[in-house]
Amino acid sequence: MSTDKKMVLRQIGAKIAYFRTLVGISQRELAAKINTTQSTISKVESGNYNDNLSIVMLTEIADALEVDLSLLLEFTGYEKAMWDRKSGE
């Protein structure tokens, strides 16, 4: 089984948006915490950040959101099944 990288990046982005919303901060506030732009955070959350999201940036985001990095990188069986359905379309 081949993992669709774009789908993984979208899933990570969705998790970042979810935790950011739970913490109650805007994209702009998250961007300020990690010294980047709101536009970059928007691209990360939509899975469109140059198809290349660094572990350093992910670590900074996790720290800023006060969540364990593993929460952004672990995927449930349901999430993985979604990838399989999307790649079969």
CA separation for the pair 52, 17 (Å, rounded): 18
What are the E-state strand segments in 20-70? none
Strand, coil or helix: what is 42? helix
Burial class (CB in 10 A: 0-12, 13-18, 19+), 9: buried
Domains and CATH numbers, the chain: 5-79 (1.10.260.40)
Identify the pLDDT of residue 36: 96
Report mean pLDDT in 10-residue bins for the chain, 89 residues.
75 95 98 97 92 90 97 86 65
Instruction: Select from 6, 15, 8 the least CA-distant residue to 67.
Output: 15
Identify the pLDDT of residue 18: 96
Identify the pLDDT of residue 70: 95
Entry pTM: 0.85
